[in-house]
Structure formats: structure tokens, C-alpha cells
């Protein structure tokens, strides 16, 4: 138990001097969201202040400009700069979340599959970021087909990234039931997927059928919803902050395991039929991470990060081969 990755982080973190809370990695998504929203407002307000002119990239009869229309001419440098800053800081947030789980400042992943899902989420986020940066460079007036392809890469990349994040957080929330923020983050990201996919379908359908004004409105809405998705990463990264009144999520979890180990020693008491934790009699204070999960005992000892036998997966297992599971 002494070698548990969570326990190894307690003494090292507690010996460090307290850092000011505003220097945490949670600042990455905040900068990204502010830059993205500020850029959108600037593009729209300038177009509105100019008397909402009919720009050369707009179709005949179109009266509402797409974001790409407003950014294809004089404001193109703003669009490129805003897209780069938005995506760089958002990707830094993705990477920071992975690093904090690996080092124990956030509740760590409990299986190899979760780590793979996290890596895939980062990969598709970077792909979506590349799409946004490229579409800002290849504007809709001079490079219409390339621009549309980059737009598809941007939307598909971040939607797929959110799908893999949802899969990871669903399993994390099932394992760390004493951290409800994980389940909240899962539902927020799932809502983003459903809303963005629905809006993207309407956007594509109206654009294809030459309802350009309607399509333009939905494009602005999609961009604004993306702001909310960026801000959702505050839910993921804020628990890693260390303040005088709050310990990082992973360190708090390690303390719980340390206290339990001090009480029971290296051997946890076996689960009896009358006391086994199940979904019917568990309470928020029940610890489902050691000894068993929903009444299924671990054969390789309490506090083990991965089960030694396939049967250890119990009800938690959805599918898996050996230790690779979701």
C-alpha cells in the first residue's frame, strides 16, 4: 500500500509552499474562452457598426454574414490571432488535465483504457485546433473549398474529442463516487456533443439548401456554444488547485486511502454477505475504490490500481481483455 501512486504524492505536495490559486492550470481554458468570445464579439460588432454591409464573399440575397465572411478581409489578422490563441491554450488545458491525473493532483485513471481514451481526446483536439487555424488562414473568399474542409475538420475534431472525454469521465465518475464533479463534467460534455451535433446538422442542411441567412445564424450559435464547452474544463482543472481551504482532488483521495490504511493495516477486512457494498445499500460515504467494487472483492489486495484477475472487474467491467478495460 505504501507504494500506491496516490500515497506517494501526499508528502511531496504537502511539503511544497502554497501557490497562489490564480496561477493554476485552470487558467488555460479561461484564457482560451475569453479570447474566443472576445474575437467573436469584435467580428460581429465591427460588421454591425459598419452598417452590416454585403461583403464580397456573401451570396446574392444574403443579409446576415457568416463568421468567415466578417473575417475574410480587414479583420483577418484578428481572426488568425484569435484562433491560434484560443486553440493553443485549450490544448494546453487538455495536456494539463492528463498530466495532473498522471501525477496525482487529480483523481488518477484506474485503467489503461481510460489513459488511451484521454490520449485520443488530446489527439482529436489537436486535429480540431489545426482545422480552426487553417480555416482562419484559408479564408472563404479566396479558398472556399479548402476553407469548408477545414471547417469540417474543426467541428469533427472537437466533437470526437468530446466523445472520448465523455467515455473517460463516465468511467472515472463510476469509480470515484466521492468526487461528483467528475459526473457533472461528464454530463456537461455529453450535452455539448448532443447540442453541437444537432446544430451542425441544421447548419449543414440550411447551407446546402441555400438558406444562407438561417445557416449564418446557426454558425454564430455553434461558435457561442463552443465557448461554453471551453469553460467546462474549469470543472476538470479547478479541483487540482491547492489553496488554504482546499487540497487537490488527487491528494484528498490519497489522504482517504492513507487514513483507511492506518486503521486496517495492510489487510482490509473481507466483505461479508451481510455487509457487502451494493448499489442498494451504499451511501455517499462508502468507499468503492478498495477491497471491492459494488460487492466484488479484489484478489490482489486493497488499494490495487489495476485488478490482477479478469473476474475482479465485477459489475464495473463493460468489456475488456485482461487488464485492458473500460
Q: What is the pLDDT of residues 111-161, one digit of tens each?
A: 899 999 999 999 999 999 999 999 999 999 999 899 999 999 999 999 999
Specify the 3-state DSSP secondary structure of 293: strand
Q: Is the pLDDT of residue 221 over 50?
A: yes
Give CA–CA dist 326/307, Å, rounded.
Answer: 13
pLDDT band at 84 (very low <50, low <70, confident <90, very high): very high
The answer for residues whose C-beta is within 8 angstroms of residue 276's C-beta and 6 or more apart is: 292, 295
- All structural domains of the chain with their residue ranges: 5-11+25-240, 249-309
Instruction: Note the pTM of the prediction, 2 decimals.
Output: 0.69
In which band, very low, low, confident or very high, does the pLDDT at 275 lie, cut at 50, 70 and 90?
very low
Q: Which long-range contacts (CB under 8 A, 24 or more apart) does 152-158 make?
A: 153/127, 153/128, 154/128, 155/128, 155/131, 155/196, 155/200, 155/222, 156/128, 156/131, 157/124, 157/125, 157/126, 157/127, 157/128, 157/129, 157/130, 157/131, 158/124, 158/125, 158/128, 158/196, 158/226, 158/229
Average pLDDT of every residue of the chain = 77
Give tens-digit pLDDT for 179-190.
888 889 999 999
Counting residues of the chain whose pLDDT is more than 90, the rounded percentage is 47
Cell of 162: 468530446
Please determine, for residue 92, whether its predicted confidence score (pLDDT) is greater than 70.
Answer: yes
At residue 21, the pLDDT reads 45
Does residue 274 carry a pLDDT above 60?
no
Amino acid at each position: 500500500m505504501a507504494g500506491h501512486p496516490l500515497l506517494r504524492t501526499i508528502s511531496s505536495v504537502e511539503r511544497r509552499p502554497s501557490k497562489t490559486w490564480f496561477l493554476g492550470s485552470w487558467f488555460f481554458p479561461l484564457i482560451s474562452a475569453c479570447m474566443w468570445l472576445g474575437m467573436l464579439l469584435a467580428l460581429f460588432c465591427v460588421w454591425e457598426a459598419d452598417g452590416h454591409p454585403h461583403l464580397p464573399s456573401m451570396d446574392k440575397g444574403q443579409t446576415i454574414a457568416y463568421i468567415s465572411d466578417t473575417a475574410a478581409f480587414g479583420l483577418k489578422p484578428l481572426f488568425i490571432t484569435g484562433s491560434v490563441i484560443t486553440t493553443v491554450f485549450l490544448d494546453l488545458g487538455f495536456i494539463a488535465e492528463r498530466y495532473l491525473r498522471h501525477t496525482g493532483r487529480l483523481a488518477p485513471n484506474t485503467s489503461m483504457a481510460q489513459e488511451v481514451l484521454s490520449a485520443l481526446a488530446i489527439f482529436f483536439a489537436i486535429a480540431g485546433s489545426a482545422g480552426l487555424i487553417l480555416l482562419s488562414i484559408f479564408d472563404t473568399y479566396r479558398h472556399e473549398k479548402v476553407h469548408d474542409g477545414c471547417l469540417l475538420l474543426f467541428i469533427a475534431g472537437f466533437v470526437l474529442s468530446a466523445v472520448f472525454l465523455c467515455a473517460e469521465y463516465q468511467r472515472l465518475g463510476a469509480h470515484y463516487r466521492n468526487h461528483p464533479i467528475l459526473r457533472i463534467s461528464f454530463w456537461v460534455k455529453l450535452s455539448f456533443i448532443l447540442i453541437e451535433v444537432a446544430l451542425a446538422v441544421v447548419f449543414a442542411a440550411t447551407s446546402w439548401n441555400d438558406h444562407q441567412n438561417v445557416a449564418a445564424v446557426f454558425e454564430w450559435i455553434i461558435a457561442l456554444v463552443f465557448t461554453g464547452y471551453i469553460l467546462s474544463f474549469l470543472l476538470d482543472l479547478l479541483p487540482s488547485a491547492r489553496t488554504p481551504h482546499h487540497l487537490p482532488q488527487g491528494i484528498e483521495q490519497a489522504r482517504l486511502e492513507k487514513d483507511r490504511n492506518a486503521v486496517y493495516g495492510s489487510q482490509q477486512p473481507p466483505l461479508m454477505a451481510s455487509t457487502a457494498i451494493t448499489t442498494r445499500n451504499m451511501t455517499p460515504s462508502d468507499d468503492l475504490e478498495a477491497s471491492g467494487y459494488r460487492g466484488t472483492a479484489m484478489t490482489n489486495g486493497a488499494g490495487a490500481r489495476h485488478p490482477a484477475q479478469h473476474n475482479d472487474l465485477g459489475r464495473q467491467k463493460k468489456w475488456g481483455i485482461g487488464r485492458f478495460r473500460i
